[in-house]
Structure 1
Amino acid sequence: MNLVKQTIYCILLAILVQGCKDTVFEKKAKKNRSNLAYAMLPPDEDLPKLSPEYRAQKHKEIETFFDANFGTSFENISFLVAKNGQIIYEKYEGYANKEQNELITANTPLHIASVTKVFTASAILKLIDAKKIGLDDNFKKYFPQFPYDDVTIRTLLNHRSGLKKYNYFCDDAAIWGRTKQLTNNDLLQVIYTKNIPKEYKADTHFSYNNTNYALLALLIEKVTGMKYKEAMKKIIFEPLEMNNTYVFDENSSENLMTPSYKGNYRKFGVDFLDHVYGDKNIYSTPRDLLKFDNARNASHFLSTALLKEMYKGYSYESKGIKNYGLGIRMREWETGQKLYYHNGWWHGNTSSYITMPKEHAVIIALSNKFNRKTYQLKKLSVLFGDYPFTLHDSIVKEE
C-alpha cells in the first residue's frame, strides 16, 4: 500500500513540475507573441551551444582579420559576428556624436541605410504568407490611381519593376525640388500627377531602385492600417524585443537621428529625402539585428514555398555571380553555393548584413562615418562555410 501511495505521489509531483515548466514556457512565449497573426517570432528552439574551443578559435581569427583590415583607421563601427545565435565577437568604436563626445556602445542605434529593405521585405512576405496580399498582385490593385499596369509586388521586391529612381527625378524643381521635405505619400502623389515615365517594361531586367521599397512601405500601411513606423514595431521590433530599433519618419524629432559623418568628420546635414522610409530610415544595433536574423532563419518564419521564392535569383540577363532575391542580395557561384547579404549607404552611414542560414551564422557591421571597408566583411564567411573568398583579398569597392 505504501508503495502504491509513493508511486502516485511521484506521478503527481512529476505532473506538477512539468506543469510549472509549461507555465514558464507559456509565459515566455506569450511575452514574445504579438497579437498579429503575421508577426515575426523568435525561434522556438535554441541551436547547439558552441564549444569554448570553437568560440576561442573563431574569435581569434575574426579579431586578427578585423585588426589587419581596419585597425585604428576605421574609427566608427558597430560590429558583431555570431553563430547559432551566440555572439563570438563584437566591437564598438568611435563616436555616436562627435560634437557631444558621445561614444558608440552596444546600445547605440545607427542608421542601417538599405539594410532597411530586408525589414520591409520581411514584413511584406509575412503579409503574403498570411494571405493579406498576393506576391503577384498588381500594385494598382491596392492603389487604383497608380499609372502603371505591369508593376507587381514581386517586381517591387526584386527590383524588376522598371520604375524610375525617385532620388533622380524628385530633385527637379518642376517635379518636387530640393527645398522641401519629400515623404512617401508625396512621392506617390508625384507619380500620380507628374507623368513620370518608366525606365523599362516590368520584369525585363534588374535595376536596384529605392522607389520600389518606398512604395512597399506604403503598401504595408495600406494593408495593416498602421503607419510604417508602427507596423514595423508591431510586426518585428516588439515581438523580437528589438528595444534599440526604430523607424525615423516625417513625424520623428531630428534629435532621434544619430549623426553621420564624412571621412574627415564633417557632419552630414538633413536633406529633402531624409523623411522617405522603407528603402532606408531604420536605426538599429548589431545585437538587435542578430535577434532579427535569428527570427528570419527560424523554421516558422515563412512557408517553405515562399521561402524558396525569397532566396532564388531573378535576374540572369547579364552573366555574373551577383543576383537579387526578394529583399536580399546574393552571390551565386557555379558550384551551387550561395551567399546572402545586403549592404547599405546613406549619407555617411554604411552597413552590411551577411546571413548564412545553412551555417546559422551572421556578420553585421554598421558605421556612421563613411568608409567602404564595411562592405568587405563578407570575406569572413569563409570561417563558417565553403565560400570562394580569402581573408587577405585586396579591398574591392562595392555598395
Structure 2
Amino acid sequence: MNFIKRTNILQIAVLFWALTSCFKEKPKELTDAELHKDSLPAMKPLIHENAKLSSEYISTKKEEIDAFYRKNWPNNSMNGGFLVAKNGHVLYEKYEGYANFRDKTYITSNTPIHIASVSKVITATAVLKLVNAKRIGLDDLVTVYLKEFPYPKVTVRMLLNHRSGMRSYAYFTDRDKSVWDRHNTLTNQDILTIMATKNIGLEQRTGTRFAYCNTNYAMLALIVEKVTKLSFREALNKIIFKPLDMTNTFVLDFDNDKKKVAPSYKGNKVEIGIDYLDKIYGDKNVYSTPRDLLKFERGRNSPDFLEPTLLKQVYTGYSNEHPGRKNYGLGIRMINWESGKSFYFHNGWWHGFTSSFITLIDEDVTIVALSNKFTKSTYAVRKLAPLFGEYPFKVEDE
C-alpha cells in the first residue's frame, strides 16, 4: 500500500512538472547587436570594381607626376616613400634613400615609417567606428569613459575636432620638474594623471575655439582602450589594420620596437635620438607605408564605413569662429573655398619624420608622402591636386 502511494505521488509530481514546463516563457532571442555587443567593429576593404583608367590617362598623369617629383625632390633627395592613386589604381610610386644610414638599409615599399600626426586620422577612424557601433557616444562627456579626467565639459567630439581647450602635454611636462621629470618616459596614462592631480588648467574655455592639441588624441587613445578592453595597439589591429590587410602598419610598442624601426634624421642626416615623449600614442606613433595607407583610404571609401549622417559630420568644419578657408573636421584637416570646393588632408611631423596624407574625395584620388629625413618638401605634394580637379591653391594656403 505504501509502495502504491509513493508511486502515485511520483507520477503526480512528474505530471505537474511536465504541465508547468509547457507554460514557461521561451528564452528571449537576442538581437544581433546584443549577441555582438562585446565584439569590435571592423573596417572592410572596398571590393567593388573601380572605374578603369585609359592607358593614355595613366601615361599622361605619370609624366606630370614624375615632373613634379623631380622638381620637388631633386637629385633623389626624398629619402622616403611616395604614392599617387586614382580609383584605387596606383598611377605613380617611388621609394628611395635609406631607412637606416648606419647599416645602409634601403627604403622599400614594405618599409614602415613613422607617420607622425597622420596617425590622428587613423585614431579618429577607430573612434568613429566605435561611435558607429554605439560603443561610444560622439557627444558623451569624456568623464563617462575616463573617470579621473578633470575637465567636466569636454566631449568626445571636442577631442576629435580640437575644441577641448586643453594644454599640450609637451608644454606642461617640459617646463616644470615638479610636474614631470624628463628622465622618465611619459605615457598616456601619465598625462591623464598629471592633468588630474597637478592642477593643469585649460588653455582656453572649453568649446570656444579651435586649438590644435596633441593631448586630445592621447586621451582618445585611452578611451579606445577603456571601451575595447584592449591595448591601443591591439584595438587598431582588430578594427583597422588586420581587416584591411595593412601588413606593414602598427602602433609602436616602444619597449620592444623602438630600436628595430627606422630612425629619423635631421636634414643633414644626423640621427635624432629617443625622446621622453616617444611613448605617447594616438596623436602619433603609427608606423605605415604608402601602400598600406592607400588600403586604409579605400576602406574609408567603402559604402559601409560609417552611417551617412555620421560620415557627413566627419567632413564638416567645426572651427568657424573666425572667417577663413582653413578648418578641421573629425580627425581631418580641410580647406574650404568660396566656390564650394574642399580639400581634405592631414600632415605630420615628429623629430625628422614628415608625412602628408591627401584624399581628393570628388576625384577619388589618394596622395601619400612619407619621409624619415626632415624636409618640408613632403608637404608640397598638395600641389598635385590641380592635376585632378579645380583646386585653386594660393600662397596663403601653402
> TM (normalized to structure 1)?
0.88
Residue 45 of structure 2 is aligned to residue 42 of structure 1: yes
**Which residue does the alignment assign to 1:32?**
none
CA deviations over 1:364-392 (Å, ceiling 9, x no partner): 00000000111111110111111113xxx
SS in 2 for 1:255: coil
**1:125-164 matched pairs, under 5 angstroms:** 125-164=128-167
Q: How big is the shift at 1:253?
A: 2.9
**Which residue does the alignment assign to 1:54?**
57
When the two chains are superposed, the root-mean-square deviation of aligned CA atoms in Å is 1.5
Q: How big is the shift at 1:102?
A: 0.7
SS in 2 for 1:252: helix
CA deviations over 1:168-208 (Å, ceiling 9, x no partner): 01122110132110011111111111110001111110000
Q: Is the 8 A contact 1:55 1:88 kept in 2?
A: yes
Counterpart of 1:301 (choices 293, 305, 317) is 305
Q: Is the 8 A contact 1:183 1:250 kept in 2?
A: no
CA deviations over 1:70-105 (Å, ceiling 9, x no partner): 221624120000000010000101110000011111
**1:262-341 matched pairs, under 5 angstroms:** 262-341=266-345
Separation (CA, whole Å) in 2 of partners of 1:263 and 1:313? 34
Q: Is the 8 A contact 1:142 1:222 kept in 2?
A: yes
Separation (CA, whole Å) in 1 of partners of 2:222 and 2:92? 37
CA deviations over 1:13-51 (Å, ceiling 9, x no partner): xxxxxxxxxxxxxxxxxxxxxx94511110131211211
Separation (CA, whole Å) in 2 of partners of 1:256 and 1:154? 35
**Which residue does the alignment assign to 1:220?**
224
Q: Is the 8 A contact 1:81 1:90 kept in 2?
A: yes
Unaligned runs of 5+ in 2: 1-37
Counterpart of 1:234 (choices 214, 232, 238) is 238
**1:12-51 matched pairs, under 5 angstroms:** 36-51=39-54
Structure 1 range deviating more: 109-118 or 43-52: 43-52
Residue 106 of structure 2 is aligned to residue 85 of structure 1: no
SS in 2 for 1:295: helix
Give the letter for the 2:228 counterpart.
Answer: T
Separation (CA, whole Å) in 2 of partners of 1:177 and 1:305? 45
Separation (CA, whole Å) in 2 of partners of 1:386 and 1:358? 10
Counterpart of 2:169 (choices 166, 171, 175) is 166
Separation (CA, whole Å) in 1 of partners of 2:106 and 2:211? 37
Give the letter for the 2:365 counterpart.
Answer: A
Q: Is the 8 A contact 1:249 1:277 kept in 2?
A: no
Identity of aligned residues (%): 54
SS in 1 for 2:92: strand
Q: How big is the shift at 1:318?
A: 2.0
Q: Is the 8 A contact 1:309 1:326 kept in 2?
A: yes
Q: How big is the shift at 1:160?
A: 0.4
**Which residue does the alignment assign to 2:373?**
369
Give the letter for the 1:296 counterpart.
Answer: R
Q: Is the 8 A contact 2:135 2:227 kept in 1?
A: yes
Q: Is the 8 A contact 2:115 2:355 kept in 1?
A: yes
Q: Is the 8 A contact 1:249 1:276 kept in 2?
A: no
Separation (CA, whole Å) in 2 of partners of 1:315 and 1:289? 27
Q: Is the 8 A contact 1:36 1:235 kept in 2?
A: no
**Which residue does the alignment assign to 2:75?**
72
CA deviations over 1:204-225 (Å, ceiling 9, x no partner): 1000000000000000000001
**Which residue does the alignment assign to 1:259?**
263
SS in 1 for 2:271: coil
Q: Is the 8 A contact 2:344 2:359 kept in 1?
A: yes
Give the letter for the 1:340 counterpart.
Answer: Y
Residue 354 of structure 2 is aligned to residue 347 of structure 1: no
Separation (CA, whole Å) in 2 of partners of 1:71 and 1:78? 15
**Which residue does the alignment assign to 1:198?**
202
Larger Rg: 2
**Which residue does the alignment assign to 1:187?**
191
**Which residue does the alignment assign to 2:5?**
none
**Which residue does the alignment assign to 1:117?**
120
CA deviations over 1:275-328 (Å, ceiling 9, x no partner): 000000000000000000100111111110001100000001222211000000
Separation (CA, whole Å) in 1 of partners of 2:368 and 2:254? 27
Q: Is the 8 A contact 2:148 2:193 kept in 1?
A: no
Separation (CA, whole Å) in 2 of partners of 1:215 and 1:168? 16
Counterpart of 2:182 (choices 158, 178, 181) is 178
> Structure 1's 271 and 37: CA in aligned 2 closer, same or farther, altered over 3 A?
closer
Counterpart of 1:210 (choices 208, 214, 223) is 214
Separation (CA, whole Å) in 1 of partners of 2:185 and 2:261? 16
Q: Is the 8 A contact 2:264 2:353 kept in 1?
A: yes
Give the letter for the 1:257 counterpart.
Answer: V
Q: Is the 8 A contact 1:182 1:272 kept in 2?
A: yes
Q: Is the 8 A contact 1:372 1:397 kept in 2?
A: no
Separation (CA, whole Å) in 2 of partners of 1:251 and 1:215? 21
Residue 355 of structure 2 is aligned to residue 383 of structure 1: no
Number of equivalent positions: 360
Give the letter for the 1:316 counterpart.
Answer: N
